[in-house]
């Protein structure tokens, strides 16, 4: 099975950005400097989208650039795509603000 390239930005990131389209079952090699992390994709991940490097439980924080980019809105399995269907942003949420605030 082909190996696909991905980029991990910082040590505490639990996602990596895939540098080419990834298909289910393919091994993804995420590089961070000279370090290499391998994860098997369990679904298709389009170019430049994110893949989960670890399992992330619902409510768990999701990291890229070493920073929080949102929290898991559902349990996320290692090797799956991370996007708006399973990640929710936590900032500027007028929909969550108390009414009349």
Partner 1 sequence: MSFLGYPRPDGSAGIRNEVLVLPPGLVASEICHFVPGTRTLESADSGSGRTANDRETIARVLIGLGRNPNTAACIVHNGSPGADYPELKAEVLVQEIARSGKPVELLDIAKEGGTLDALKMGIKIARAMVVGASRQRRVPCDDGLLALGVKCGISDPTSGIAGNPVVGYVYDKLVAAGGTAMFGETTEIIGAEHIISKRAVSPEVAAQMLDCVAKIEELAKASGQDIRTVNPVPSNIAGGISSLEEKSLGAIHKAGSAPIQGVLQYGERPKGKGLYFVDNWMTMTSIFLGYAASGAQLVMFQLGGGGLPNWTLLEGVPTGVVPLLWVTANPVTYARSEDSIDFFSGTVIAGEETIEQAGERLYRHILDIASGTRTRPETVRFTSPAQMYLREPVF
Query: Which of residues 1, 7, 77, 79 is near partner 1 by CB under 8 A?
Result: 7
What is the distance between the alpha carbons of residues 67 and 22, in angstroms, rounded to a whole number?
Answer: 24
At residue 34, what are phi and psi to the nearest 5 degrees?
A: -95, -5
The b/e string for 35-61 (b: 16+ C-beta within 10 A; e otherwise) is eeeebebbeebeeeebbbbeebeeeee
Contact 40, 25 (CB under 8 A): yes
32 near partner 1, judged by CB under 8 A: no
Which positions from 47 through 86 interact with partner 1, judged by CB under 8 A?
Answer: 47-50, 64-65, 67-70, 82-84
101 binds partner 1 (CB under 8 A): yes
Exactly one of 11, 25, 59, 89 binds partner 1 (CB under 8 A); that residue is 89
Where along the sequence are the contacts to partner 1 (CB under 8 A)?
7, 9, 17, 19, 46-50, 64-65, 67-70, 82-84, 87-97, 99, 101
């Amino acid at each position: 099975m082909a190996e696909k390239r991905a980029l991990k930005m910082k040590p505490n990131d639990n996602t990596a950005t895939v540098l080419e389209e990834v298909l289910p079952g393919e091994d993804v090699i995420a590089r961070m400097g000279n370090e290499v992390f391998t994860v098997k994709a369990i679904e298709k991940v389009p170019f430049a989208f994110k893949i989960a490097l670890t399992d992330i439980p619902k409510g768990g924080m999701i990291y890229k650039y070493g920073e929080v980019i949102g929290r898991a809105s559902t349990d996320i399995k290692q090797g799956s795509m991370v996007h708006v269907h399973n990640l929710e942003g936590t900032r500027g949420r007028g929909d969550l603000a108390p009414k009349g605030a």
